[in-house]
């Protein structure tokens, strides 16, 4: 058996986990078991131990015990997302990445984000956070797991739409939060899970005792499977020997006989009964199978794929050796084999099973009773391949004749007694080059030649001396044994050659991919290599404008039939094979396999044969999988390189813009300071000059604020903002900003609705003053010539809101988020004008202080409303004197 070595795939998975943050999932059977409370309790322990813990999002659902546990932890403000006239709150990924805590709490992993968010699902947000090296703790109910979604729906009659892929749970540390069904039902009746009306309805449907018991079993089994998979990764990465039978793992031996599909079905039923993962393996031994045997094997392996098993084809010199190696690789605990076809003698039936039992003493064997097709009473006599046999016998017999002539010459020169040893040469030659049958026939011919030419009386086949009879029999026996050994060596050499050719093909394909720089070029290389290695037609389809188009094909073609395109689209949408040889849209002549990287499909490879045969033979499926995996990684690399090129262009553009802003602002500041100072010292000579001088001073002040905004923007983009946080009275800060803008506001009405008993806010006074100046000036500019401005503060359960309202036309649809982008001006409306810097500075300064700024239209009348949100940890209560 090959010496154990670390599994490269396991090493890669472990290395990827080391580079990213660690995920911990608190897994429960149903709502109300205490997942969130358990997570918060553990997080409080981490915080007391000095770990930087923040709450990204936690849903309390109004539960008092959850709110009490949440209160001591810092909570990041949520991001407002506008959707159909409503403002929804979602987790702010950018704030988390900017804050970079050691641990972030993200409740409800299966949550679907509001439309317009960066990702559709919260688990995708978690993946981005993990990729940044930040640890994440989250919660999940078992019915939201993708692989168990339909299982749970079959007995609860409730199918949830929000699901989480299994790969996320497989990489996570799992803590099962368990509550007995009776206790959970009591919590539900007490109103600790749902409000009374919903609780009564839930008790008669989802929260029945039978449902909760089944869900508990699913949680425990799925957690055990995930832990077992992680344990196997660690074992394989360290090349540790042994089965490590902490859980059942089933290996099903699949042959090319007529009962192969029955063995696969029986193995699947046994794996289901044990709730164990299972693998179907076929051992590729030397020799040729007929077309019917190949078809039966392909059908059985395809059935195993449809039934959810992994498929493995392993070359080996013998079935027992191959099964032993497969069992070691998969760490199987149970081997399922089909009962052999009845033989004439009992020892023939026991041979294979007994050999497996001796070879694999730590492996449980399950022999499945299967019904073989009836064997006809009189089998037709097989027709031997005389041409192939004759092609080997002719040179073998020629070598025997040559050895006989050489022996006669040597025997004539001197009576040599061991001339029989010369006949081993043609026997070994025939067995190694032409196989066992040719070697045995050559051995018989050699023994007859030795008897006829060298054993007295020569020239006849009569043997007088009994010792010579023993010599001939030994010669025949040794010739047969050496033929068998030489034939086995030939078989192993053929297997090694086939394996080497496959490895060389994959290595050559990998070398070709290293020089590929575009998706179209990759398509041409992939189709050409797939067509050559798999002896099939190949086509690659790439997504373009929401649909798949043919990017490359070999032989060249530019379109597929409607049914074929439907199969390709299905394979791309669901990241599963489709078409002929799969379980979906089998009427298509093509087998479509998705190219994926990171769990997301990137393209689809199609294969078909011109002779209407199966697109891929079963023994070539591992080669197809390797080609698809390498091509998927190459396509992902090309996409990332394209994205990085775009990022570099953006970075260069931003660098040039920052340099230009810095240059303009600094070059204008000095002369502008002199101009402003001079204008302030000038005294009008008469009444006519008063308005002129006032206008000049106002425009100079406006230009000075514009230059200050340029400088502030440069500081924001350079990250050169130094915070000096202190407690600030909100009413005083607003009054100071209004006073500084008295010339800009003129006679416009300004209403300040700020209660005196509001808590102080923890901000940087200078940056907060800049934010207020820009917000009020924006309201004055776009609120109409005589429109009033209202500044109102309101206390909320999660903090405090300061709103700046104007009476202008409001914001056009879709501008609520874009309005804060740099140099953004609302074209096509009355709100156009300005430099597009003020609101971007507000956003930058607010983010630097940990505040959240949003924009929306007023609900009571026309006009815009800009809101600055202070979370609870930004507030300081005023101590009574």
Q: What is the Cα–Cα distance from 816 to 82, expressed in whole angstroms?
A: 8
- Predicted local confidence at residue 134, as pLDDT: 92
> What is the Cα–Cα distance from 89 to 517, expressed in whole angstroms?
41
250-368: in CATH 3.40.50.620: yes
Tokens coding 162: 């929000």
CB 856 within 8 Å of CB 832: no
**Helices 519-534 and 466-514 sit at what angle, rounded to 10 degrees?**
160
Q: What is the DSSP secondary structure assignment for residue 164, as one 8-state letter?
A: B
Residues in the chain: 881
> Which of the pair, 623 or 51, is modelled with greater confidence?
51
What pLDDT sits at residue 1? 44
Kindly compute the dihedral angle of the four CA atoms of residues 67, 71, 72, 76, in this order, to the nearest 10 degrees: 110
Residue (of 475, 468, 474) closest to 422 by Cα position: 475
Question: What is the spatial distance between Cα 556 and Cα 875, in angstroms, rounded to a whole number?
Answer: 68
Q: What is the pLDDT of residue 698?
A: 77
pLDDT of 802 over the 90 cut: yes
Provide the percentage of residues in the chain whose pLDDT is more than 90: 11
Whether residue 647 has pLDDT greater than 70: yes
Cβ neighbours, 10 Å, residue 374 = 6
Give the orientation angle of helix 466-514 with respect to helix 424-434, to 10 degrees: 30
Say whether pLDDT at 612 is over 80.
no
Whether residue 375 is predicted with pLDDT greater than 50 in this model: the reply is no
Segment among 486-490, 505-509, 634-638 with least mean pLDDT:
486-490
Beta strand pairing call for 537-544 and 23-28: unpaired
Angle between helices 8-19 and 209-237 (to 10 degrees): 110
Q: Going by C-beta distance under 8 Å and a sequence separation of 6 or more, which residues neighbour residue 476?
A: 443, 444, 447
- Which pLDDT tens digit goes with each residue over 148-198? 777 787 777 777 778 888 888 888 888 998 888 888 777 777 666 654 555
* CB of 533 closer than 8 Å to CB of 624: no
Rounded Cα–Cα distance for residues 768 and 848 (Å): 10
Q: Token digits for 802? A: 């300061």
DSSP assignment of 425-447, as one string? Answer: HHHHHHHHHH-HHHHHHHHHHHH
User: Is the predicted pLDDT of residue 286 greater than 70, yes or no?
Assistant: no
Q: Which of 95-104, 672-681, 827-836 has the lowest mean pLDDT?
A: 827-836
For 281-303, b/e burial (b = at least 16 CB within 10 A) is: bbbbebeeeeeeebbbbbbbbbb
d(C-alpha 319, C-alpha 328), whole Å:
14
Q: Is it the case that residue 26 has pLDDT exceeding 90?
A: yes
- Is the per-residue pLDDT at 801 higher than 80? yes
Residue-by-residue DSSP string for 347-393? HHHHHHHHHHHHH-TTSEEEEEP--PPPPPSSPPPP---HHHHHHHH
Q: How many whole angstroms separate alpha carbon 766 and alpha carbon 725?
A: 10
Delimiting residues of CATH 3.40.50.300 domain(s) in the chain: 8-238
β-pair partners for 298: none
Task: Give the pLDDT score at 346.
Answer: 47
Q: Which of 842, 836, 830 has the alpha carbon at shortest distance from 806?
A: 830
Q: Which residues of the chain are in CATH 3.30.565.10 domains?
A: 721-876
Separation between Cα atoms, residue 239 and residue 331, nearest integer Å: 12
With a cut of 70, say whether residue 488 has pLDDT above it: no
Burial of 637 per CB tally in 10 Å (0-12, 13-18, 19+): middle
CB 811 within 8 A of CB 862: no
Please tell me the predicted confidence (pLDDT) of residue 622: 75
Give how far Cα 859 sits from Cα of 805, 864, 865, Å.
Answer: 11, 9, 9
For residue 348, name the pLDDT band (cuts at 50, 70, 90): very low
Give the per-residue pLDDT at 379: 40
Q: Given pLDDT bands bounded at 50, 70 and 90, which one contains residue 106?
A: very high
Q: How many CA atoms lie within 13 A of 820 on its CB side?
A: 19
According to the model, what pLDDT value does residue 194 have?
Answer: 55
Least reliable range by pLDDT among 225-229, 250-254, 632-636, 726-730: 225-229
- Nearest CA to 428 out of 471, 469, 480 is that of 480
Residue 872 has what DSSP assignment? G
How do residues 771-788 score in pLDDT, each as one tens digit?
Answer: 999 899 889 888 877 789
Residue showing tokens 């409303």:
865
Least confident among 416-425, 548-557, 680-689, 741-750: 416-425
Distance CA 417, CA 454 (A): 9
Tell me how far apart the alpha carbons of residues 867 and 615 are, in angstroms, rounded to a whole number.
61
> Strand pairing partners for 54?
104
**Between the CA atoms of 420, 422, 426 and 431, what dihedral angle is there, to the nearest 10 degrees?**
70
Which pair of tokens denotes residue 865? 């409303």
Average the pLDDT over 457-470 and give the result.
70
Q: Tokens representing 805?
A: 């309202």
- Answer yes or no: are the C-beta atoms of 74 and 55 closer than 8 Å: yes
- Neighbour-count burial of 70, counting CB atoms closer than 10 A to its CB (0-12 exposed, 13-18 middle, 19+ buried): buried
Q: How many CB atoms lie within 10 A of CB 318?
A: 15
Q: Does 793 sit behind a cis peptide bond, omega within 30 degrees of 0 on the bond before it?
A: no
Q: Say whether domain 8-238 belongs to CATH 3.40.50.300.
A: yes
Chain CA centroid to CA 40, Å: 28
Higher pLDDT, 334 or 451: 334
Average pLDDT over residues 427-446: 75
pLDDT band at 282 (very low <50, low <70, confident <90, very high): confident
- What is the per-residue pLDDT for 43? 92
Q: Which range among 98-102, 301-305, 532-536, 864-868 shows the weakest confidence by mean pLDDT? A: 301-305
Which SS3 state, helix, strand or coil, does residue 434 take?
A: helix
Here the tokens at position 278 are 């299972």
Q: Is 141's pLDDT higher than 60?
A: yes
Is 734 a residue whose pLDDT tops 70?
A: yes
For the segment(s) 721-876, the CATH number from 1.20.950.20, 3.30.565.10, 1.10.3720.10, 3.90.600.10 is 3.30.565.10
The answer, yes or no, to whether residue 597 has pLDDT greater than 50, is yes
Asked whether 73 and 53 are in contact (CB, 8 A), the reply is yes
Query: pLDDT tens digits, residue range 194-233?
Result: 545 555 555 556 677 778 888 888 888 778 777 766 666 6
Q: At what angle do helices 319-330 and 346-359 cross, to 10 degrees?
A: 40
Using DSSP's 3-state secondary structure scheme, residue 138 falls into strand
CA pair distance 175, 22, nearest whole angstrom: 14
> Torsions phi, psi of 750, nearest 5?
-125, 120
Question: Regarding predicted confidence, which is higher, 38 or 4?
Answer: 38
Q: How buried is residue 812: exposed, middle or buried, by Cβ count under 10 Å (0-12/13-18/19+)?
A: middle
Average pLDDT, the chain: 78
User: Average pLDDT, stretch 410-423?
Assistant: 72
Is 137 exposed, middle or buried (CB count within 10 Å of its CB: 0-12, 13-18, 19+)?
Answer: buried
Short-list 122, 124, 158, CA closest to 142: 158
Instruction: Give pLDDT tens digits for 390-407.
Output: 777 788 888 888 888 888
591 within 8 A of 598, measured Cβ to Cβ: no
**Can you read off the two tokens belonging to residue 615?**
């697109």
Q: Per residue in 116-132, pLDDT tens?
A: 788 888 998 998 899 88
pLDDT at 306: 66
Chain Cα centroid distance, residue 767: 43
Angle, to 10 degrees, between the axis of helix 424-434 and the axis of helix 386-413? 160
Peptide bond into 457 cis (omega under 30): yes
Of 17-21, 170-174, 490-494, the least confident: 490-494
Most confident of 93-97, 473-477, 672-676, 839-843: 93-97
Give, rounded to a whole angstrom, the gap between the first and last alpha carbons of the chain: 85
Identify the CA nearest to 448 among candidates 481, 424, 477, 472.
472
Instruction: Give the pLDDT confidence score for residue 620 in this predicted structure.
Output: 74
Would you state the pLDDT for residue 383?
42
* Sign of the alpha-carbon torsion through 845, 850, 851, 852: positive
Q: Which residue has the higher pLDDT, 808 or 466?
A: 808
How many Cα atoms occupy the beta-carbon half-sphere of 5 within 13 Å?
Answer: 5
In terms of pLDDT, which residue wins out, 811 or 380? 811
């Amino acid at each position: 058996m090959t010496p154990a070595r670390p599994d490269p795939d396991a090493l890669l998975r472990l290395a990827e986990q080391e580079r990213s943050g660690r995920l911990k999932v608190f897994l429960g059977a149903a709502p109300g078991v205490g997942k969130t409370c358990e997570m918060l309790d553990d997080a409080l322990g981490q915080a007391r131990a000095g770990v930087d813990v923040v709450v990204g999002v936690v849903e309390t659902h109004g539960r008092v015990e959850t709110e009490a546990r949440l209160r001591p932890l810092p909570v990041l403000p949520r991001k407002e997302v506008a959707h159909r006239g409503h403002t929804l709150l979602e987790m702010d990924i950018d704030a988390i990445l900017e804050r970079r805590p050691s641990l972030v709490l993200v409740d409800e992993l299966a949550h679907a984000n509001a439309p317009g968010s960066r990702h559709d699902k919260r688990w995708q947000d978690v993946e981005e956070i993990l990729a940044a090296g930040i640890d994440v703790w989250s919660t999940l109910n078992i019915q939201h797991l993708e692989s168990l979604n339909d299982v749970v729906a079959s007995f609860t009659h409730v199918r949830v739409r929000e699901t989480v892929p299994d790969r996320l749970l497989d990489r996570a540390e799992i803590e099962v939060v368990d509550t007995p069904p009776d206790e959970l039902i009591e919590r539900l009746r007490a109103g600790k899970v749902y409000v009374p009306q919903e609780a009564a309805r839930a008790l008669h449907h989802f929260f029945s005792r039978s449902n909760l018991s089944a869900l508990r079993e699913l949680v425990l089994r799925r957690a055990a499977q995930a832990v077992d998979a992680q344990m196997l990764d660690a074992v394989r990465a360290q090349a540790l020997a042994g089965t490590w039978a902490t859980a059942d793992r089933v290996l099903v031996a699949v042959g090319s006989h007529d009962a192969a599909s029955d063995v696969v079905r029986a193995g699947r039923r046994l794996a289901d009964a044990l709730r164990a993962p299972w693998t179907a393996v076929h051992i590729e031994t030397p020799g040729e199978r007929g077309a019917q045997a190949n078809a039966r094997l392909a059908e059985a392996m395809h059935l195993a794929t449809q039934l959810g098993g992994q498929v493995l084809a392993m070359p080996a010199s013998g079935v027992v050796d191959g099964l032993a190696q497969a069992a070691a690789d998969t760490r199987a605990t149970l081997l399922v084999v089909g009962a052999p076809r009845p033989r004439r003698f009992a020892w023939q039936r026991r041979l294979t099973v007994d050999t497996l039992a001796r070879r694999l003493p730590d492996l449980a064997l399950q022999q499945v009773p299967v019904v073989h097709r009836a064997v006809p009473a009189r089998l037709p006599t097989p027709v031997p391949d005389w041409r192939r046999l004759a092609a080997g016998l002719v040179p073998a017999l020629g070598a025997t004749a040559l050895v006989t002539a050489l022996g006669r010459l040597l025997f004539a020169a001197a009576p040599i007694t061991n001339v029989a040893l010369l006949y081993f040469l043609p026997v070994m030659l025939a067995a190694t080059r032409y196989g066992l049958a040719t070697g045995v026939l050559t051995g018989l011919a050699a023994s007859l030649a030795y008897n006829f030419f060298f054993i007295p009386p020569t020239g006849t086949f009569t043997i007088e001396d009994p010792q010579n009879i023993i010599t001939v029999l030994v010669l025949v026996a040794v010739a047969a044994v050496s033929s068998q050994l030489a034939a086995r060596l030939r078989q192993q050499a053929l297997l090694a050659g086939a394996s080497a050719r496959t490895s060389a093909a994959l290595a050559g394909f990998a070398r070709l991919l290293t020089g590929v720089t575009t998706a179209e070029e990759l398509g041409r290389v992939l189709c050409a290599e797939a067509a050559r290695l798999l002896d099939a037609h190949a086509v690659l389809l790439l997504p373009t404008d929401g649909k798949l188009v043919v990017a490359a094909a070999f032989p060249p073609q530019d379109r597929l039939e409607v049914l074929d395109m439907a199969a390709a689209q299905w394979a791309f949408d669901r990241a599963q094979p489709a078409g002929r040889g799969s379980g979906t849209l089998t009427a298509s002549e093509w087998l479509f396999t998705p190219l994926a990287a990171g769990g997301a499909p990137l393209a689809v490879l199609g294969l078909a044969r011109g002779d209407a045969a199966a697109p891929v033979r079963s023994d070539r499926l591992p080669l197809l999988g390797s080609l698809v995996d390498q091509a998927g990684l190459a396509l992902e690399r090309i996409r990332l390189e394209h994205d990085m090129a775009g990022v570099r262009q953006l970075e260069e553009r931003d660098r040039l813009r920052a340099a230009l802003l810095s240059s303009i602002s600094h070059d204008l500041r000095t002369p502008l300071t002199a101009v402003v100072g001079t204008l302030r010292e000038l005294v009008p000579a008469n009444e006519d000059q008063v308005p002129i001088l006032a206008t000049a001073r106002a425009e100079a002040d406006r230009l000075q604020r514009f230059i200050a905004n340029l400088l502030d923007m440069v500081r924001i983009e350079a990250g050169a903002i130094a915070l000096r946080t202190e407690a600030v009275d909100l009413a005083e800060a607003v009054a100071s900003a209004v006073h500084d803008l008295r010339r800009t506001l003129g006679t416009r009405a300004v209403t300040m609705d700020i209660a005196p008993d509001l808590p102080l806010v923890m901000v940087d006074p200078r940056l907060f003053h800049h934010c207020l100046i820009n917000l009020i000036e924006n309201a004055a500019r776009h609120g109409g010539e005589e429109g009033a401005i209202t500044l109102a503060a309101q206390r909320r359960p999660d903090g405090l809101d300061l709103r700046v309202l104007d009476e202008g036309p409001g914001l056009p649809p879709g501008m609520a988020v874009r309005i804060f982008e740099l140099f953004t001006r609302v074209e096509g409306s009355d709100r156009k004008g300005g430099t597009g810097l003020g609101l971007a500075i507000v956003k930058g300064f607010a983010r630097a202080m940990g505040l959240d700024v949003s924009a929306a239209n007023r609900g009571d009348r026309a006009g815009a409303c800009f809101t600055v949100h202070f979370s609870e940890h930004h507030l300081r209560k005023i101590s009574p004197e």
